[in-house]
Amino acid sequence: MGSQADGPRMIDEATAKSILAAAGIDVPAGRTGDDPELLLADLTGPFVLKAVSPTLIHKSDAGGVAVGLAADEVRAAAKTMRETVSAAGHEVSAFLLEEMAAGPHEVVVGAVRNPGVGWVVMVGLGGVFVEVLQDVAFGVAPLVRPQIVEMIDELRGLPLLQGARGSEPADLDALVGLIEALAGPGGLLDLMPPQVTEIDLNPIKLGARGAVAVDARFVVDPTATVTTDRALTPVPPTDFSALFQPKAVAVLGASTRAVNAANLFVRHLQTSGFSGRIVPVHPKADEVEGIATVPSLADAGAIDYAFVALPGAKVAEALSQSVDGVAFAQVVSSGFAEVAGGEQLERELVESARRQGTRIIGPNSLGTHTSRGGVGFIPNAPYEPGGVAVVSQSGGLSVDILRLGSASGVHFHSVTSIGNSADVTPAEMVGHLLDLPEVRVIGLYLESLERAREVLELVTSDRLVTKPVVLLVGGRSAEGSRAAASHTGALSGNHRLWPALARQAGLRLVDSLDDFLSVLLGFDVAKPSVRVSSRDVVLFGNGGGASVLATDALARHGLVTPTLAPEVVAALEAFDLPPGNGLTNPVDVPAGTLAVRSGAVADDILRTILASTEPAVVVTHLNVGIIQRNLEETHGDVTGRIIETVARLQAETETTHHLLVLKGDGKSDMEERIGEYARRARSLGVAAHRQFEAAAVSAAALLAEPAPTTSPQENL
Ligand code: ADP
Ligand code: MG
């Protein structure tokens, strides 16, 4: 065992295989020794001969593997192998002679420890498929059978394993069983000491019956230790109501001379409609921002929420002054674990707060916005309460989420900038938000896989996940997680691990901030009782090209726009509409048609369609710029009329989601009008998007499988 003096080493193949066998994974029968002829005893041909050499990692590259040997060919093969392998610079210390496993398929299964996530597991098709096409799928251990099946289903090359192109179908059950033995609860990975950092089974031979690991590589890093979790004072279960509805708010760090974050925070409180007690804490000044101060938290009484913008080193001490308690301290100060050398300070802060029963939000955060609580951290924050609760690892992005979200019609329950999440974690927040009836959808912006892993743990414990959780990720780069000795290591970049974590946790992963907000809006406004029976969409609105683009956008998200039945089209034609309509779906009509009876015609058209079809979604798209600029004088508020029609239809149905797309002409007066229309639509129970793409991504999310409501363990 071992090659270089330090750095990763390999366990020899025969030992690795005996470990696999003990874990219930099939390996070829084989024997190791110097004299290949003596190894033949008890083995049945055809044979595979392999060179054993501590320095040889990729055996076949150096001529160290000979397959398909008959018994009388073994001696000669060994002689040649010794020569070629030594010519390649490796000394052959012994031979491994194995029975040859039947194919025809080869797959790769591997596992690598990721510092934040733990064991991540990969499955892929062997050979060129993994090397060139990188057709692999990842999962996070422990994996239960249905999750393993989902991983395998993700492989683009799966049809090849199922027997496409005339090959023999592979025993996929055996593959699932093998992965379960490796990565299932209590599987081999669970038993590995911390020094084993990678396991690569490349390849596994897969035939009509059985799965056999014919090569096994265990990478050992003698210096590796698994960091045991920080041994902090344990957290008691926390009631987060005081964070979202604080009655007494303390502010530490406001200045009498300058206007800093704490001063601004007080000013926001003074204008937000916050009705509780504001207690500025200042050691010297009598008043701050026109409010009487107390010299320390000792005189502040019981505080629900303290906004702390002191220099980092002073935070713990200042909080410890409290006599009657601080339930939550939002530490906006920086200089903690986000900077080199700040870890100790952060640990001390959390430890000291825990002893006191104070929960820390942050540090290195911006604040917590709560609409009902009337507390926020940006000027003129949107306090209209809604069902969208967001937890963000980025402070700056939480500002964008509030601003852009509210501009696109999102009403927030809360936005928590959780910063370094040294104490309260995103997972803990999710746990609480799942319990709040007023929260309809949770949005997470995460940058750390470790934090995502905690969310996975939460939702796969006995937790009922009864509402959608939407995930936006920062840092999905394609880089491999380490300079790897295996395909698994090389391919386990963050861009692979985030989707795996999201899939396993039932989180809806989105690609951009725009999509994040569109999906949150969609879930917040959608009628919760609607149950759809298809992925069909009816598109209705003005603009032929626009309808085509909309169809494409929907298709990109897996939604179809099927042609209406001839009877329905005939019924629509019978309405005696102005010319120029396409009535087959997309139902694209010119503005002049929409304006018939000042827009009341939309009711006839949509009702006729819905009388005989049951689409999952109706997208009504209106080019408001054209409709209102050209037809307002003659036909009045056509847009408003159609919005009301759509809202009425939404109220009447339990089987269809109605969405609106309202488009302008780029002029600011029209943008403003559209904003008003969107607010009106929202107040009537219909989400209005500004782009087809937004409607499509939101519709697809609404139609996606519901989040798992039971633990996958129960499926075993
Ligand atoms: P390497 O170190 O080059 O990865 P392997 O042990 O994987 O060496 O052997 C190379 C190839 O030989 C494998 O990819 C597989 O196709 C074939 N092979 C190796 N061992 C066996 C076996 N016992 N049965 C069938 N094929 C085998
Ligand atoms: Mg191999």
Beta partners for 330? 307, 361
pLDDT at 265: 97
Tell me the DSSP string of 340-366.
Answer: TT-HHHHHHHHHHHHHHTPEEE-SS--
Domain boundary among 220, 251, 267: 220
pLDDT at 37: 87
Does residue 192 belong to any structural domain of this protein?
Answer: yes
In this model, does residue 675 exceed pLDDT 90?
A: yes
Amino acid identity of residue 580, one-letter, is G
Å from CA of 111 to ligand 2 middle: 15
Q: Which ligand is nearest to the CA of 205?
A: 1
| 400 and 500, same domain (yes or no) | yes
Close Cβ partners of 487 (under 8 Å, ≥ 6 residues apart): 108, 110, 122, 124, 130, 131, 136, 200, 202
Does residue 74 belong to any structural domain of this protein?
Answer: yes
Atom of ligand 1 at shortest range from CA of 13: 6
| 345 and 421, same domain (yes or no) | no
Q: What ranges in 332-447 are assigned the alpha helix state H? A: 343-356, 395-407, 426-435
pLDDT at 478: 63
**β-pairing, 9-11 with 47-52?**
unpaired
Indicate the pLDDT class of residue 123, thresholds 50, 70 and 90: very high
Å from CA of 161 to ligand 2 middle: 19
Q: Which ligand is nearest to the CA of 67?
A: 1
Q: How many residues does the chain have?
A: 716
| 44 and 162, same domain (yes or no) | no
What average pLDDT does the chain have? 92
In this model, does residue 493 exceed pLDDT 90?
A: no
Indicate the pLDDT class of residue 4, thresholds 50, 70 and 90: very low
Taking alpha carbons only, the member of 356, 413, 402, 406 closest to residue 240 is: 413
Q: Whose CA is nearest to atom 23 of ligand 1?
A: 100
The answer to whether the CB of 62 is under 6 A from ligand 1 is: no
Side-chain-side CA neighbours of residue 89 (13 Å): 5
pLDDT digits over 367-376, tens only? 999 999 999 9
> Cα separation of 674 and 667, whole Å?
11
How far is residue 451 from each of residues 241, 350, 466, measured CA to CA in Å? 22, 17, 21
The answer to whether the CB of 100 is under 6 A from ligand 1 is: yes
The answer to whether the CB of 215 is under 6 A from ligand 1 is: yes
How far is residue 527 from each of residues 340, 440, 685, measured CA to CA in Å? 48, 11, 7
Å from CA of 215 to ligand 1 middle: 6
How far is residue 711 from each of residues 2, 459, 461, measured CA to CA in Å? 42, 7, 6
pLDDT at 585: 96
Question: In what helix (H) or strand (E) does residue 211 lie, and over which residues does it extend?
Answer: strand 211-213
Count of beta carbons in the 10 Å neighbourhood of residue 590: 17
| 110 and 59, same domain (yes or no) | no
| 428 and 325, same domain (yes or no) | no
> Cα separation of 12 and 93, whole Å?
11
Beta partners for 580? none
Side-chain-side CA neighbours of residue 176 (13 Å): 14
| 214 and 269, same domain (yes or no) | no
In this model, does residue 517 exceed pLDDT 60?
A: yes
Indicate the pLDDT class of residue 7, thresholds 50, 70 and 90: low
> Cα separation of 706 and 704, whole Å?
6
Å from CA of 195 to ligand 1 middle: 26
pLDDT at 127: 76
In what order do the strands lie in the sheet containing 94-99? 30-33, 94-99, 47-52, 65-69
pLDDT at 164: 85
Beta partners for 279? 250
Q: Which two tokens stand for residue 589?
A: 């009509």
Does residue 123 belong to any structural domain of this protein?
Answer: yes
pLDDT at 711: 38
Instruction: Decide which of 431 and 166 is more confident.
Output: 431
pLDDT at 713: 38
The answer to whether the CB of 98 is under 6 A from ligand 1 is: yes
In this model, does residue 206 exceed pLDDT 50?
A: yes
pLDDT digits over 349-373, tens only? 999 999 999 999 999 999 999 999 9
pLDDT at 229: 54
Indicate the pLDDT class of residue 550, thresholds 50, 70 and 90: very high
Does residue 458 belong to any structural domain of this protein?
Answer: yes
Taking residues 231-248, report their average pLDDT. Answer: 88
Task: Write the CATH number for 46.
Answer: 3.30.1490.20
| 206 and 272, same domain (yes or no) | no
> Cα separation of 126 and 136, whole Å?
9
Q: How big, in percent rounded to 5, are the helix, strand and coil portions of the chain?
A: 40, 20, 40
| 414 and 509, same domain (yes or no) | yes
Which residue has 């499988």 as its token pair?
Answer: 705
Q: Which two tokens stand for residue 208?
A: 């009509």
Tell me the DSSP string of 587-645.
Answer: EE--HHHHTGGGGTHHHHHHHHHHHH---SEEEEEEEHHHHHHHHHHHH--HHHHHHHH
| 381 and 476, same domain (yes or no) | yes
> Cα separation of 489 and 107, whole Å?
16
Indicate the pLDDT class of residue 223, thresholds 50, 70 and 90: confident
- Give the three-class secondary structure for 663: strand
The answer to whether the CB of 687 is under 6 A from ligand 1 is: no
Å from CA of 198 to ligand 2 middle: 14
In this model, does residue 501 exceed pLDDT 90?
A: yes
Does residue 8 belong to any structural domain of this protein?
Answer: no
pLDDT at 38: 87
Task: Write the CATH number for 436.
Answer: 3.40.50.261
Poorest-confidence range of 180-184, 479-483, 537-541? 479-483
Å from CA of 480 to ligand 2 middle: 20
| 389 and 478, same domain (yes or no) | yes
Does residue 631 belong to any structural domain of this protein?
Answer: yes
Range of the domain at 275: 238-364
Q: Which two tokens stand for residue 558?
A: 């897996």
**β-pairing, 587-588 with 537-541?**
parallel
Domain boundary among 364, 382, 406: 364
The answer to whether the CB of 101 is under 6 A from ligand 1 is: yes
Q: Which ligand is nearest to the CA of 57?
A: 1
In this model, does residue 270 exceed pLDDT 80?
A: yes
First to last CA, the chain: 38
Whether residue 67 contacts residue 100, with contact meaning beta carbons closer than 8 Å, is answered with yes
pLDDT at 680: 97
Task: Write the CATH number for 298.
Answer: 3.40.50.720
How many angstroms from the chain centroid is the CA of residue 671?
A: 33
The answer to whether the CB of 214 is under 6 A from ligand 1 is: yes
Beta partners for 288? 291
Atom of ligand 1 at shortest range from CA of 203: 14
Task: Write the CATH number for 184.
Answer: 3.30.470.20
Indicate the pLDDT class of residue 502, thresholds 50, 70 and 90: very high
Whether residue 594 contacts residue 635, with contact meaning beta carbons closer than 8 Å, is answered with no
The answer to whether the CB of 67 is under 6 A from ligand 1 is: yes
Taking alpha carbons only, the member of 415, 421, 422 closest to residue 399 is: 415
Taking alpha carbons only, the member of 10, 176, 187, 48 closest to residue 107 is: 176
Name the percent of the chain lying above pLDDT 90: 85
- Give the three-class secondary structure for 214: coil
How many angstroms from the chain centroid is the CA of residue 335?
A: 29
Q: Whose CA is nearest to atom 4 of ligand 1?
A: 58
Name the percent of the chain lying above pLDDT 70: 95
pLDDT at 712: 37
Å from CA of 477 to ligand 2 middle: 28
Does residue 712 belong to any structural domain of this protein?
Answer: no
Q: Whose CA is nearest to atom 15 of ligand 1?
A: 203
| 440 and 565, same domain (yes or no) | no
| 335 and 390, same domain (yes or no) | no
Domain boundary among 341, 364, 387: 364
The answer to whether the CB of 48 is under 6 A from ligand 1 is: yes
Whether residue 662 contacts residue 694, with contact meaning beta carbons closer than 8 Å, is answered with no
pLDDT at 61: 93
Taking residues 164-175, report their average pLDDT. Answer: 90
Atom of ligand 1 at shortest range from CA of 98: 23
In this model, does residue 526 exceed pLDDT 90?
A: yes
Does residue 555 belong to any structural domain of this protein?
Answer: yes
Residue whose CB lies within 8 A of the most ligand 1 atoms, among 205, 214, 217, 487, for a mutation test: 214
Å from CA of 203 to ligand 2 middle: 5
Domain count along the chain: 5
Residue whose CB lies within 8 A of the most ligand 1 atoms, among 49, 59, 60, for a mutation test: 60
In this model, does residue 436 exceed pLDDT 90?
A: yes
Atom of ligand 1 at shortest range from CA of 50: 6
How many angstroms from the chain centroid is the CA of residue 256?
A: 44
Å from CA of 520 to ligand 2 middle: 46
- Give the three-class secondary structure for 229: coil
> Cα separation of 255 and 265, whole Å?
12
> Cα separation of 387 and 400, whole Å?
18
Atom of ligand 1 at shortest range from CA of 58: 2
